[in-house]
């Protein structure tokens, strides 16, 4: 039977994997859109991020589905956090008022 500390460590590993995966996606979008060869950035990044994520899931799970579920849960928690942290700030009402006649 798996104990709670092992599942917590697997969840934290999932958070780290998710932060690398989705943080790398955000970084790739910023670099790729300004690049002369965006396809190279996007394909290269996808292959690297997927390889790291799959290798991490495989290593963390070690053949136990409970660890895999905990890792996936942490991965999706990281997705929500990275999405919130990288969201552009809302437009300020003061900036819009300066355009009024």
Domain ranges of the chain: 4-86
pLDDT at site 97: 54
pLDDT exceeds cutoff 80 at 88:
yes
What CA–CA distance (Å, rounded) separates 43 from 52? 14
Query: pLDDT per residue over 16-70, tens digit each?
Result: 999 999 999 999 999 999 999 999 999 999 999 999 999 999 999 999 999 999 9
Q: What integer is the mean pLDDT of 64-87?
A: 94
Q: Are 60 and 18 in contact (CB under 8 A)?
A: no
Q: What integer is the mean pLDDT of 67-91?
A: 92
pLDDT at site 90: 81
Tokens 């859109």 label which residue?
A: 33
pLDDT at site 3: 86
pLDDT at site 32: 92
Instruction: Pick the closest to residue 22 from 66, 65, 84 (CA basis).
Output: 84
Please state the pTM of the whole predicted model.
0.82
pLDDT at site 94: 63
**Alpha helices (H) along 1-99:** 4-33, 38-61, 65-85, 93-97
């Amino acid at each position: 039977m798996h104990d709670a500390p092992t599942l917590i460590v697997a969840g934290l590993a999932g958070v780290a994997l998710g932060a690398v995966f989705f943080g790398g996606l955000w970084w790739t979008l910023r670099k790729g859109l300004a690049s002369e060869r965006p396809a190279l950035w996007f394909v290269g990044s996808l292959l690297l991020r997927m390889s790291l994520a799959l290798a991490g899931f495989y290593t963390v799970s070690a053949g136990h589905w409970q660890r895999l579920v905990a890792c996936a849960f942490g991965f999706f928690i990281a997705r929500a956090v990275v999405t919130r942290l990288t969201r552009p700030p809302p437009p300020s009402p003061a900036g819009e008022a300066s355009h009024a006649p």
